[in-house]
A and B are shown apart, each in its own frame.
Chain A
Amino acid sequence: MEVVGTGTDAVAYALMLADIDVTSAYPIRPYGGVMQTVARLIADGYLKAEYIVAAHEHDQFEIVKHASAVGARTFVGSSGVGWLLAIEAIVAISTDRYPVVALIGNRALDDPPGAYGVEHNDALMVRDVGWLLVWVDTAQEALDTTLIAYRVAEDPRVMLPVGISMDGAFLTHSEHVFKIPPKSKVQKFLPPYDLGNRKLHPSNVISVAPQVNEDWVTEIRKQMDEAMKNARKVIEEAYRDFAKIFGRDYGNPFVEPYMVEDADVVMVGMGTVSKPIKEAVRRLRAKGERVGFLRIRWFRPFPTDDIIRYLSGVKVVAVVDRDYSFGSPFDGGAVFTEIRSALYEAEHRPLMMNFIGGLGGREITYNDAINMFNMALDAARKGRVEQRVIWYGVRE
C-alpha cells in the first residue's frame, strides 16, 4: 500500500507492523509527531499496545526499560535536550542490555525553548555508551530502518538499543510517498521478541541491574563491546533478508555511496543533507567534475571498512557535520574526527576538509553544496588544504 505521510508517520506505521507492546510518550518537537500517529493507530484499532504518557523524559525511558525487561517490545523517542534529560535511563537501557528502539528527532541543544531545528549532537551524545545509531534520509528508509532496528536490537548476539536519527523538520515534518508492506512479510522478517533466560517473570527468578562495582563493570563493558562488534554482521544479515523478503535492496547497509567511483572529491554527510549534495553532484558531474557523495547510515557501529573502501583512494574528502565537537583534535565535527581516525590505517590517506554547516536547522541548499565542492575541488587541484575546518556560512 502506498501512502503519503511524514517521516514520523512512517516510523509509526513501522511500529504497527512490528506490533510493539508498549510505548511511552512525552511531547517534544520535532519527535512528537510519531506519538500522535501512534496514538491514532491505537485509537483506530490498528495497533494494540500500551500507550503510557510519562511525566517527563526520564520516566519515559525508564518505563520502556522496565517494559522491555518483562518481555515487551517497546518504542520510545525524544529530541534535543529532552533526549538528554533521559540520559540516566538511556545509559541504563544499554548497560542492562534491553533492545529498546528509539526515535531521535534531531534537534539542537540549547536552553529550551532554544532552537527547534536540526543538529546531530543530541543523538551523538550517546555514541560511546552502547547504543546503535543510524541516520535515515527518507520516510521509506525510516519505515524500513525501524523494522531492521528491532531485528538487529533483539538479536541474541546484540541485545543493545538502537537510536534512529531523523533530521528535525526536514524529515520529521515533510511529506513523502512511501510504501507500507503487508504484515505477513514483516512477520517473516521479524521474529517475536525473546529475552530468553533474562526475561523478568515469576517463573524465571533472576536479579537484573544489580549493584556492580570494580569486580564486574569491566566484564559488563566487554560484553557490550562484543555485542557492538557482532552488530556489524547482524546488520548485514538483516539488510540481506530485508531485500529478499520486501524486494527493496539498500545495497551496502552501512553507507550509501553516490557516484563515488572515479571521484576525486567525495563529500560525506548524514541525514537529509544528502538531498542537496546529491543534486550538486549531478550538476557538477554534468560539467565534467569528478565528484561524489557518501552518506553514512550507521554511525554506531562505525563502518570503518566501508569508509576505507570508498574514501582511501580519493584526493579530497569533505565531511559536512551537522554537529560539532568543541575542542576535539582538529576543532571540527564528530563525523569528521571519526572518519579521520578510520582513515589513519588506510594505505592511501586523502586530504580532509570539514564543513560545519546547517546548525540549528539552517538550510544547506544545493548551491551551498556546490560552493563546498568547489572549495574541495580547489584543494584537490592544489594538492593541499588551506583551511581544514570551515564554519560554512557563519556571519562574520
Chain B
Amino acid sequence: MVSKRNPDELLKFIPARDSPPYTLVVVYGERSIGDFWTFPDDGTVERVLGAIAKVMPSILTLDDVKRYLESLDKPSERVNRALEAYQSLVKLREVRPGEGLPYKYEPPHLPGWKDMMIGGAIPGLKPNQRNPYFTGGTAKHYRPVINFDKCIKCSLCWEYCPDSVFDVTPDGYFNPALAYCKGCGVCAEVCPVPDTIIMVDEMEFEDGYGKFIDEYRAWKENREAYRKWFESLLPKAQVISVRKR
C-alpha cells in the first residue's frame, strides 16, 4: 500500500479477512490509484517494485528492478522512484485473521438467463431505488459531504451521479447513500453552488463501511452541529474545478 499513514491507522480502513495472516507493507508516499488507466504513469508501479525489493528480495532484487526499469522509457526517473521506496520508510505489520474493519463481502447475485431482460437490457431505477449489489465496498477515496444550508435543490447532483447514490428527501434535498458512492466527484463537479458539495478524504471519517452517517438526517437533527462539522471539513476538501471557477 502507498500511504503517508502508519499501518495501525490504515487497518481501520482495511476490511478484515478470514484468510491466513498476511503482511501489510506500507510504502511512504502520496496514495494513488497508479496503474489504473486514469493515471498510468504516477510512479506507483516503480515504488511498489522498489518496496518488494526491500521486503522480499527473494522474489525480486533491487538489481532486477533496476534492470527492468532501465529497459523502459524515462529510466532514471523510474529508477529514482524505485530507490525512494527502497530507501525510505517501508513499514511492515503482521495482520491476523479478523483484524481490520468489520466488513463482510457479499458477492453480487447475478440473475440467470431466464430472469434477465432479453439482450441484457436493464430496467431503469425509480427515485430512491438502487441495485443493492452496486455498493462501493471500501474502495472510494473521497466522499461527498453536502452543505444543505446552501443547497438550491437544483437536482443536478442526483441526475449526474453515475451510481444513483442520491435519495430524494421529502423536502426536495438530495442525500447521498454513502455505501453506494464510488467517490468519483461528479456530483461536486456539477453542483452550481460553490462549496456545497465537497469531496473529503475518506480517511477523515471513521464511521466505517456499512454504517455510514446519514448526512441529511444529521443536518435535520442539529443544523448548528452539522454546520460546524462541515466547516471543519472544508479546509480538507479536494480542490475541484468548480471551486476554481
Contact = CB atoms under 8 A, between A and B. Distances in A.
Interface of A: 95-98, 159, 197-198, 204-210, 212, 215-216, 218-220, 222-223, 226-227
A198 B119 CA distance: 9
B154 interface: no
Contacts of B122: 206-208, 210
Nearest to A159: B118
Given A205-B124, A206-B124, A207-B124, A219 B112 contact: yes
B218 interface: no
Nearest to A200: B121
A95 to B, nearest CB: 7
B119 to A, nearest CB: 4
A219 B113 CA distance: 5
Q: What is the size category of the interface that chain B forms with chain A?
A: 10 to 19
Given A210-B122, A220-B113, 7 more contacts: A95-B119, A95-B120, A205-B123, A206-B117, A219-B116, A220-B119, A223-B113
A206 B123 contact: yes
A96 B117 contact: no
B110 interface: yes
B112 A96 contact: no
A18 B25 CA distance: 69
A216 B120 contact: yes
A97 B119 contact: yes
Interface in B99-134: 110-113, 116-125
Contacts, number: 60
Contacts of A226: 113
A208 B124 contact: no
A198 B124 CA distance: 11
Contact of A220 (B120, B123, B124, B125): B120
Interface in B79-116: 110-113, 116
A222 B117 CA distance: 12
A209 B124 contact: no
A209 B118 CA distance: 10
B110 A210 contact: no
B107 to A, nearest CB: 11
6 contacts: A197-B117, A198-B121, A205-B124, A212-B120, A216-B120, A223-B118
A331 B124 CA distance: 50
Contact of B120 (A98, A159, A210, A227): A210
Contacts of B113: 218-220, 222-223, 226
Interface in B130-149: none
The 4 A-B pairs with the shortest beta carbon distances in the complex, nearest first, are A205-B124, A97-B119, A219-B113, A222-B113
B117 A209 contact: no
Given A219-B112, A219-B113, A222-B113, A209 B123 contact: no
B110 to A, nearest CB: 6
A216 B120 CA distance: 8
A97 B121 CA distance: 10
Interface in B189-216: none
A209 B116 contact: no
Contacts of B117: 197-198, 206
A348 B110 CA distance: 45
Contacts of A198: 117-119, 121
